[in-house]
Structure 1
Amino acid sequence: MSETHLDLDTLSRRWLDKAAGELPPLEKQALGHAARRRPVSRDINRAYDDKASLGERLADRVAAFGGSWTFIGLFGVFLAIWTGLNLSLGRGAFDPYPFIFLNLMLSMVAALQAPVIMMSQNRQAAKDRLDAANDYQVNLKAEIEIMALHDKLEMIRNEQLQSIIERQNEQLELMRRMLDERTAR
């Protein structure tokens, strides 16, 4: 067994009331970082975005644009132009009232846009889960560090108390000797 493993097991039992082997991976990793005095926090967004495929990045951009006021405004203008143009052309309209071709186009846009938005939402949910796991690790490591500080403060206080007791015992011994010398005279 390595020294680090022994330290992890000791620390795990002291602060988490479990053996290191019984800890879930996130807790074991946070404890290891605390024992080695290493940071555990990381930029989840950068790590996750660096691994994103072209399709995932495209889905994010489409979802961001499709859920914006710019899209709603542009789409409203497009619909107004489409209906206005077809109503003004009368019998020569390329999509006369009740705008069946427009309905087909809107259905196709919705059929394509919905899965793309869902892909982006699924990706965001996965990123949120990673972010939550990272937050948990950071919080757990902070708790472990606080417990370690409490242990150190307790040790320092005990050392100071021991030092005070030793000095008082020395002073008492000195007083006894002085009293013994006086009574011996």
Structure 2
Amino acid sequence: MTDAGAGERVCGVCGRALPASMLRPVAVVSGAVRATLDRDEPEWAHTSWICSDDLRRARQTTIEEMIREDHGELTVLDRAVLKSLAASGTVTVNPEEVYDKRLDFGDRLADRLAGFAGSWTFLLSFAGVLVLWIGVNSFALFSAPFDPYPFILLNLILSCVAAVQAPLIMMSQRRQEEKDRLRSENDYRINLKAEVEIRRLHEKMDHHLLMQWDHLTRLGKAQDEIVRQLRAGSGADRKG
């Protein structure tokens, strides 16, 4: 244990002498964190101070055990949330930006083609081409139609378009599923962190309520003692 100098106090867990700004009174430690310290540091001083590093480490361990108890083995997303809590950072990411960074030229081209193939512009344009094709080859506009009935060339073109369009749509759907997965992971991280933060707030509120109740109890006892002393003094004056 390090000896404390002027303006310093000793941490009850690690025993380091640190400035008062880097220490917290043990009274502010909630019950769950205190139980973690009792288990991991059985010899820590309960009536002293605790440094910010040890308090943060104990809180991190408590949160990790809570998540492990609720969800089982920690996943990559759970560890990302724990890391964010330890760093007091955010876990929110923009799925669109993450998804766009993973796309190459072929993926972008396939998405554009699939988007165009599923639009009213493509549908109306393709319907117009079909009507024009059938009309030109059905009526006697030319002495020798280039694709007479039953429009074998048109069937071949339609088959080729369908053969190319189906993989494009499937690739686009697969990438949409990937984008939905990124959104779901982002929502999970946000919800998990919000749940942990709400639990911590509840623990802090309960802890502060208990501290206030203890303080009020001590004040009440002190007031009762003062009243008894005043009554005793008043009785002695009357007898005198």
Verify same fold: TM over 0.5: yes
TM-score, scaled relative to structure 2: 0.70
CA distance in 2, matches of 1:97, 1:22: 66
Of 213, 217, 227, the match for 1:175: 227
The structure with higher relative contact order (CA 8 Å, sep 6+) is 1
Deviates further, 123-132 or 82-91: 82-91
Q: Which residue of 1 aligns with 2:136?
A: 85
Of 68, 73, 96, the match for 1:45: 96
1:49-100 alpha-carbon deviations (Å, 9 max, x no partner): 1220111111111111111111111100010111111112355111011100
**1:18 partnered with 2:44:** no
CA distance in 2, matches of 1:79, 1:17: 61
Q: 1:104 to 1:5 in 2, by over 3 A?
A: farther
Q: Is the 2:138–2:149 Cα contact (8 Å) retained in structure 1?
A: yes
3-state SS in 2 of match to 1:92 = coil
Q: Is the 1:90–1:96 Cα contact (8 Å) retained in structure 2?
A: no
Of 102, 118, 137, the match for 2:170: 118
Amino acid at match of 1:57: R
3-state SS in 2 of match to 1:157 = helix
3-state SS in 1 of match to 2:148 = coil
TM-score, scaled relative to structure 1: 0.89
CA distance in 2, matches of 1:17, 1:51: 31
Q: 1:5 to 1:121 in 2, by over 3 A?
A: farther
| Larger proportion of helix | 1
Deviates further, 25-34 or 125-134: 25-34
- Equivalent pairs counted in the alignment come to 183
* Structure 1 stretches of 4+ moved >6 Å: none
**1:72 partnered with 2:72:** no
Q: Which residue of 1 aligns with 2:60?
A: 8
Give 1:46 deviation, angstroms.
Answer: 1.3
Unmatched runs of 5 consecutive residues or more in structure 1:
none
Q: Which residue of 1 aligns with 2:187?
A: 135
Q: Is the 2:137–2:147 Cα contact (8 Å) retained in structure 1?
A: yes
CA distance in 2, matches of 1:140, 1:62: 38
Unmatched runs of 5 consecutive residues or more in structure 2:
1-52
Q: Which residue of 2 aligns with 1:33?
A: 84
CA distance in 2, matches of 1:56, 1:169: 75
The Cα RMSD (Å) is 2.2
